[in-house]
Amino acid sequence: MPQPTPPAPEPVAADRAVRRRRHRLGAMVAAFAAIFLLRCAAAPDATVPERSIVACGRALDIGTRVVSWLEADGYDAYRRGRHFTADEVPDGKLRYEPVRGGLPDAIAARARERGLSLADLQRAVHLFVIHFDVCGTSRQCFKVLHDVRCLSVHFLLDVDGTIYQTLDLREKAHHATIANDASIGVEIAHPGCWPQPLSADMRRWYERDEQGWRMRLPPGVADGVRTPGFVARPARAEIVSGEVHGRTYWQFDYTPQQYAALAHLCAGLAALFPRIRLDAPRDATGAIRTNALAADELLAFDGIVGHFHVQTNKQDPGPAFQWDRVLDEARTLRSGMRP
Ligand SMILES: [Zn+2]
């Protein structure tokens, strides 16, 4: 008959103290590991901090309000159905592509196997494309883009300076044709530009009061702006003219709130994506180019572009857009951001 196993001897007092210390150390390591994992990996699945943009599940504080697609008043481009109808039945249409094309073979193989990592996304993304939405507000823009046209863009920037992120930056959004694979995009709320000054169409969007020009937003449209009672005034008092693709256009400027928020967004994207330089295409004199880049020039360019730099049939962000105002401010902010 086998002998019964003897009970383990009681540890002496010194052994018990060592075990307690080891136990406490183990608990501390587990707690730090849990905090680290929560900060680095799990944030977007739960909630996204209020001033953060998200790439591959990683959140970066950019110092200005960003409304995530996960928030109740956010705009969710993952939704396979219309946003502005009570009808919850999905239409099954993807507004974006979960796989970016044009990746180097090694990255594409890794992405197929286990999804696109942040390190690989940082190698692939080298452009930030700036648009005006010709809708006037971000709510109207999302209605047209998502519900009507089945398109997408990563960010919307409203007249009051609120940024909305609609997708994780790992996704390929449909906003700028040949630039989609390698870019991130923003639609800035703005009525657009015109070939004549103060045309009847332009006057539908702007009116004068005792303080100067202001945007005229119909009540149903103005309600979608996050800041109650916000009055959108151009950053410059008078209408601006300039050339795009060799043709003259007229445009009221963007709001100061939009410029301030966009500088934060550009700085954050430059911090997160080393290939996005805080500069735009320039001509031999150092001025911002006002025409489209050839396809090979665009592929070779690392930085911030307007939609008109991508396509000859587009004018956005238009002649009033103050490139150096945004770039200078973004360079100042960039040094304070750590991804
Ligand atoms: Zn555009």
Instruction: List the beta bridge partners of residue 185.
Output: 129
Q: Where are the domains of the chain?
A: 15-46, 52-195+223-334
Q: Provide the pLDDT for residue 302.
A: 98
Q: Say how many Å lie between the CA of residue 279 and the centre of ligand 1.
A: 19
The pair of three-digit structure tokens given for residue 117, joined into one six-digit string: 């990592």
Instruction: List the beta bridge partners of residue 61.
Output: 52
Q: Say how many Å lie between the CA of residue 133 and the centre of ligand 1.
A: 7
Q: Which CATH architecture has domain 52-195+223-334?
A: 3-Layer(aba) Sandwich (3.40)
Q: Say how many Å lie between the CA of residue 112 and the centre of ligand 1.
A: 30
- Written as tens digits, the pLDDT of the chain (339 aa) is 334 333 333 333 444 444 445 545 444 444 444 333 333 333 444 578 899 999 999 999 999 999 999 999 999 999 888 888 866 667 878 899 888 888 888 888 888 888 889 999 999 999 999 999 999 999 999 999 998 898 999 999 999 999 999 999 999 999 999 999 999 999 999 999 999 998 898 999 999 999 999 999 877 788 889 999 999 999 999 999 999 999 999 999 999 999 999 999 999 999 999 999 999 999 999 999 999 999 999 999 999 999 999 999 999 999 999 999 999 999 999 988 887
Alpha-carbon distance of 159 to 9, in angstroms, equals: 74
Radius of gyration of the chain (CA): 25
What's the burial of 64, exposed, middle or buried (CB within 10 Å: 0-12/13-18/19+)? buried
Q: How far is CA 41 from the centre of its chain?
A: 19
Q: Say how many Å lie between the CA of residue 5 and the centre of ligand 1.
A: 78
Tokens 């945007």 sit on residue:
215
Q: Say how many Å lie between the CA of residue 177 and the centre of ligand 1.
A: 10
Q: Say how many Å lie between the CA of residue 314 and the centre of ligand 1.
A: 6
Q: Say how many Å lie between the CA of residue 87 and the centre of ligand 1.
A: 29
Q: Say how many Å lie between the CA of residue 331 and the centre of ligand 1.
A: 24
Q: Say how many Å lie between the CA of residue 15 and the centre of ligand 1.
A: 70
C-beta neighbour count of 219 within 10 angstroms: 6
Side-chain-side CA neighbours of residue 243 (13 Å) = 9
Alpha-carbon distance values, 80 to 71, 91, 146, 154, 236 (Å): 17, 6, 9, 16, 40
C-beta neighbour count of 241 within 10 angstroms: 14
Q: Say how many Å lie between the CA of residue 239 and the centre of ligand 1.
A: 21
Asked whether the beta carbons of 156 and 143 are under 8 A apart, the reply is no
Q: Say how many Å lie between the CA of residue 190 and the centre of ligand 1.
A: 11
Q: Say how many Å lie between the CA of residue 226 and the centre of ligand 1.
A: 23
State phi, psi for 141 to the nearest 5 degrees.
Answer: -65, -45
Q: Say how many Å lie between the CA of residue 131 and the centre of ligand 1.
A: 4
> Considering the entire predicted model, what is its pTM?
0.85
Tokens 């730090």 sit on residue:
32
Q: Provide the pLDDT for residue 21.
A: 52
Q: Say how many Å lie between the CA of residue 127 and the centre of ligand 1.
A: 14
Q: Say how many Å lie between the CA of residue 187 and the centre of ligand 1.
A: 7
Q: Provide the pLDDT for residue 48.
A: 81
Tokens 């883009």 sit on residue:
145
Q: Provide the pLDDT for residue 102.
A: 82
Asked whether the beta carbons of 244 and 322 are under 8 A apart, the reply is no
Q: Say how many Å lie between the CA of residue 312 and the centre of ligand 1.
A: 11
Q: Say how many Å lie between the CA of residue 132 and the centre of ligand 1.
A: 6
Q: Provide the pLDDT for residue 286.
A: 97
Handedness of CA 43, 98, 76, 253 (dihedral sign): positive
